[in-house]
């Protein structure tokens, strides 16, 4: 069967693969466009396997929300260049939408979720690797399904936050999500701060004090230490921090003024916890010159 330009064009539109790859796929499969599409998918999986060990520390946080249901998905690429590519962005948005539709709560269930194209997320990932030429990983997912006010906020594609607020309104929930994105409080309220953390901070503050202060009466010493610890606890808790949208109030004051309560929140940052490979290009070129 003759491999016409229109046939190559049709396969390219179906799969997004390169022109030469489409022509080769059609040639290998006698011009059968369905078989050629399957061949390209298998080829994509093979390419994905070859790239699987390459570090993916860049990428994007994608979000999808419908009422009280919301998901954040972190999808990684090797470079920031690909992370900004329109095809990569479309892929991440499609994965987040699929996660929401499937009610996925973990990566394994997300991999088998179906996209509108009929592909699973894992199949689409392999195809995207073949198309964009970089390793990609669907790394993390967090989800909320609540009858309370839920806000999903992504800042710059790199920081994503889900917040659940009992009471208040959507505007308050979004404001809290923006605050969490900006300030990254490790804990929600003072009661959530581990006793071990508080004890360690007490020991540190005591060690920093002068001998003169340490000789003060026990009740005064306790007040001094307690004041310092309260300040530290405020710094590491959402409720204790000054609210980014109104610096005259703490988050706790803003929330209570709205008759609300922050139930919890989740925060993702692209690449956190991944060890990046730092390339020394000058050394690499110098080494190549010596060969």
Domains of the chain are 5-51 (1.10.8.10), 58-183+265-269 (3.30.479.20), 190-256 (no CATH)
What does the buried/exposed string (b/e) look like for 188-200 if buried means 16 or more CB atoms within 10 Å of the residue's CB? Answer: bbeeebeeeeeee
pLDDT digits (tens, 9 = 90+) for 219-265: 888 888 888 999 999 999 999 999 999 999 999 999 999 999 999 99
User: Average of pLDDT values for 49-76?
Assistant: 82
pLDDT at 290: 58
pTM of the model: 0.74
The distance of Cα 247 from the centroid of its chain, to the nearest Å, equals 28
Alpha-carbon torsion (79, 81, 84, 90), positive or negative: negative
Q: Which residue has the tokens 């990566």?
A: 107
Tokens of 192: 């959530």
Q: What DSSP character marks residue 241?
A: S
pLDDT at 144: 96
Partners of 166 in beta bridges:
261
On whether the CB atoms of residues 150 and 67 are closer than 8 A, the answer is yes
On whether the CB atoms of residues 159 and 269 are closer than 8 A, the answer is yes
Q: 212 or 259: whose pLDDT is higher?
A: 259
Q: 194 or 226: whose pLDDT is higher?
A: 194
pLDDT digits (tens, 9 = 90+) for 112-171: 999 998 999 999 988 888 777 788 899 999 999 999 999 999 999 999 999 999 999 999
Sheet of strand 136-145: strand arrangement: 58-66, 69-77, 136-145
- 1 HSE (CA, 13 A, CB side): 14
Q: 147 or 46: whose pLDDT is higher?
A: 147
Tokens of 23: 């022509």
d(CA 200, CA 174): 34
d(CA 79, CA 190): 39
pLDDT at 212: 73
């Amino acid at each position: 069967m003759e491999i016409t330009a229109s046939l190559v064009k049709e396969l390219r539109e179906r799969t997004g693969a390169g022109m030469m790859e489409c022509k080769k796929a059609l040639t290998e499969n006698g011009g059968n466009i369905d078989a050629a599409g399957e061949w390209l998918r298998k080829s994509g999986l093979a390419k994905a396997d070859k790239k699987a060990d390459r570090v993916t520390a860049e990428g994007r946080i994608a979000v999808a929300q419908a009422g009280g249901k919301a998901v954040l998905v972190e999808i990684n690429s090797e470079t920031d260049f690909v992370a900004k590519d329109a095809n990569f962005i479309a892929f991440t948005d499609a994965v987040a939408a699929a996660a929401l539709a499937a009610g996925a709560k973990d990566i394994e269930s997300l991999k088998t979720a179906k996209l509108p194209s009929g592909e699973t997320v894992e199949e689409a990932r392999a195809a995207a690797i073949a198309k964009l030429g970089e390793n990609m990983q669907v790394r993390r997912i967090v989800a909320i399904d609540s009858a309370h006010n839920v806000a999903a906020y992504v800042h710059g594609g790199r920081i994503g936050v889900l917040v659940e607020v009992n009471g208040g309104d959507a505007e308050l929930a979004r404001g809290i999500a923006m605050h969490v994105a900006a300030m990254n409080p490790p804990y929600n309220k003072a009661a959530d701060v581990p006793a071990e953390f508080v004890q360690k901070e007490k020991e540190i503050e005591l060690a920093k004090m002068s001998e003169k202060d340490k000789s003060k009466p026990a009740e005064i010493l306790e007040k001094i230490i307690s004041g310092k610890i309260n300040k530290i606890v405020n710094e590491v808790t959402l409720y204790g921090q000054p609210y980014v949208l109104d610096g005259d109030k703490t988050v706790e004051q803003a929330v209570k003024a709205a008759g609300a309560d922050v139930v919890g929140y989740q925060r993702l940052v692209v690449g956190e916890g991944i060890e990046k490979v730092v390339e020394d290009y000058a050394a690499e070129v110098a080494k190549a010159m010596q060969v």
